[in-house]
Amino acid sequence: MTTPTPSQVAPPESDGVAYDHGGVRWIDVREMTWTPTPGQDGHFHKVLERDADGAPVVFVEYLPPGVPASAFRRHHRSVREFFHILEGELPNTEFADEGDATGVALVAKRGWFADRRPGSVYGGSPARPSGPGAVVLRGRTGPGTWAADPGCGAETVELEPGDRTPARPSAPDTPGVILDRGGVTWFDTREMDWQEFRNAEPGHLRKVLCENPENGAPAVFLHQLPPGYGLGADLPVRCYHRTIGEYGYILESDILSAEWATAEAPAHHLHKRPDWFMARQPGSIHGADVGQVPARACLLLNWAPDIFGGVFGNWIGDANYEEETIVLG
């Protein structure tokens, strides 16, 4: 994904839409224009999804090279959010709590992922510059984490900046876990072990990044579709889900599949590529593109609209798949 240039910065947010029918929207994020982020000089964003009140809840953000104008330390009262580094590097300092003035220094790189819970204290300093800048995919449960958000002053608590040199993180005990303390977990997803996804589609793998604390269901995960995946004998050609929506962001390689605006409409075949984003609503009819077989494995990030609820049933192998998914043949 290219970083902003003057010719790419413009107000529209509807460009890049490749398909928007029947309850699903696919966006080629690379074709969207960058919008300046209010109150943050040099920062730009692309809004992919808004909540019912119009606040951005899924967006890609560009953070420029250089340093913050001043040191800061803050936390959010109720909003939970995740970050996935798409490009570049993001220096950050994580604090155990409000009383921690030292913190742990991180430089998040491409492929790193963070799950930040409410109350997690983080910060930055002019003493820790970003060399290349960063492009970050962000999802959040509500507004208030941006300076320009309505109600930001009520949601975001500004603290006195840390006054000591941050420590380095300790060596992780779990593969891929960089830091897990103070209400935030940082992963280097490239170092995590793949888990076999036990369903009717051999070769599918997952890396679970967040779980529903109530039932342990995967809430945010990386999903790898194997090279040469196609239509199996016992897989549906067309289906929809009764109550569950989902988001997806393609990180690597391609997906070849089809969408239907209605049950009676002809298939619309889509060749979905890296940096495409999907917002699928309940009732959206989709399925395999028969006869099309990709040559490379596809890597995508999946999560539910409530982000951390972990209520699924749209993947074969989910406990409630038969009740939630309607197969049309």
The CATH code for residues 38-191 is 2.60.120.10
Which DSSP symbol is given to 292? -
Residues 156-183: pLDDT tens digits? 999 998 767 777 777 677 889 999 999 9
Homologous superfamily (CATH) for 195-327: Jelly Rolls (2.60.120.10)
| β-bridge mates for residue 307, sequence order | 304
Asked if domains 38-191 and 195-327 share a fold, the reply is yes
Residues 269-315: pLDDT tens digits? 888 999 999 999 999 999 876 666 665 778 999 998 887 777 778 88
Identify the residue with better confidence: 297 or 78.
Answer: 78
Which contiguous run of DSSP H or E holds residue 324? helix 321-324
Phi-psi region of 216 (alpha: psi -120 to 50; beta: other; left: phi over 0): left
Q: How far apart are CA 194 and CA 225, in angstroms?
A: 12
Rounded to two decimals, the pTM is: 0.90
Q: How far apart are CA 13 and CA 47, in angstroms?
A: 7
Residues 97-112: pLDDT tens digits? 999 988 999 999 999 9
Count CB atoms within 10 A of the CB of residue 131.
Answer: 11
Residue type, 76: H
Contact (Cβ atoms closer than 8 angstroms) between residue 37 and residue 119: no
Residues 196-235: pLDDT tens digits? 876 556 678 899 999 877 777 788 999 988 776 654 545 5
User: Taking the domains of the chain in order of start, what are their residue ranges?
Assistant: 38-191, 195-327
Calculated CA dihedral for residues 170, 175, 181, 187, nearest 10 degrees: 110
